[in-house]
Amino acid sequence: MSVLRHQGATLHYREAGQGLPLLLLHGFPLTSDSFWPQVEALSGKFRLIIPDHRGFGESEGGDQPTTMDAIAWDALAILDALAVPTAVVAGVSMGGYAALALTRLDPGRVKALVLIDTQVGADDTAGKAKREETAKAVEQKGMAVLVESMMPKLLGPGAPPEVRARVEKAIADNSPKGAAAALRGMALRPDSREIVARFAGPILVMVGAEDVITPRANAEEIAGLNARAQLVELPGAGHLSNLEAPEAFNRALEDWLNRLS
Ligand code: MLT
C-alpha cells in the first residue's frame, strides 16, 4: 500500500499493473480489498489504482462527514501523486456516487465511467433520516450493526461462502467512526442525473441480476440518460457483482476497456 496525506486524512491505496489507468472506488462499508478478483485477473492488462476511502481500511478519516466530494478529491490527489492525467473511473455503489462526484468536479480527468451496482438519485428525507439513525447506532454499538443489517442484502443467495466470509470480515474490521462519517456523507450527496447526461465519454453500467439494494431498474435509469452508455447485467450476482460473478464481470469490463482506445 502507498500512503498520501491529503486534507486531514492519511490515505492508503493499492497499485497493481501497467497500462490504461483504471481507478476503482469501493462501496460501503468495504475497503480496497473488495476488488481482489479484479487485481488477480486484470492487473496484467491495466494499471489498477485502488484507494481505501478516508475512514475505511487503512485510511484514517477526518472528523467531518465523508462526502462523496471528499472521496473524489482524495482520489484526484492520488492521481496527481501518481502523475496520472486521465483514468477510467469505476465505482461500486457508494464508489459510484464518488465516481460521479469526481466527474462533476474534474470531468477532464475522466476518460470513461464504469458505474457498478449504483444509482444516480439523492436520498429522500426518509432515507437521510435512516442514514443518521444508522450512523448513531454504529457509533454506539459498533460495526456489528452493519454486519447484521447489510450482510443479508449485499450478496445474492448464490454467493460463495469464502466471498461471504471475506466481505463480513471487511465490514467488521472497519472503523465505526469512518462508517458513520460516510453514512452522513452519502446523505448529503446531490442528484447526479445531469452528470451522467452531460458526460461526453463512454459509460459502462453493470448490475447484478439479483441486486436488491440498487436493482436493475436503477441501472436502466442510468443507461437511459446517455446515448453512449451500455448496460451489462451479471446473472447470479447480487449487489457486489464484481465479487459474486468475477469471471463474467472481468470479461465484460476487459472487453469494453479494450474497445475504448
Ligand atoms: C454501498 O454498497 O456502497 C451502499 O449500499 C450504498 C448506499 O448505502 O447507498
Chain segment 145-174, per-residue pLDDT in tens: 999 999 999 999 999 999 999 999 999 999
Residues 6 or more apart whose CB falls under 8 angstroms from that of 160 comprise 244
* DSSP three-state, residue 10: strand
Distance 105 CA to ligand 1 centre (A): 21
- Is the CB of residue 94 less than 8 Å from the CB of residue 182? yes
Distance 261 CA to ligand 1 centre (A): 31
Give the pLDDT confidence of 26-79 residue by residue, as tens digits: 999 999 999 999 999 999 999 999 999 999 999 998 789 999 999 999 999 999
Q: What is the pLDDT of residue 19?
A: 96
Q: Do β-strands 203-208 and 229-234 pair in parallel, antiparallel, or remain unpaired?
A: parallel
Distance 119 CA to ligand 1 centre (A): 9
For ligand 1, what atom is nearest to the CA of residue 118?
6
- Is the CB of residue 214 less than 8 Å from the CB of residue 119? yes
Q: Which residues line ligand 1 (CB under 6 A)?
A: 27-28, 93-94, 186, 213, 239
For ligand 1, what atom is nearest to the CA of residue 26?
3
The pTM score is: 0.98
The residue that leads in pLDDT, 261 or 107, is 107
Q: What average pLDDT does the segment 7-26 reach?
A: 96
Q: What average pLDDT does the segment 235-247 reach?
A: 98
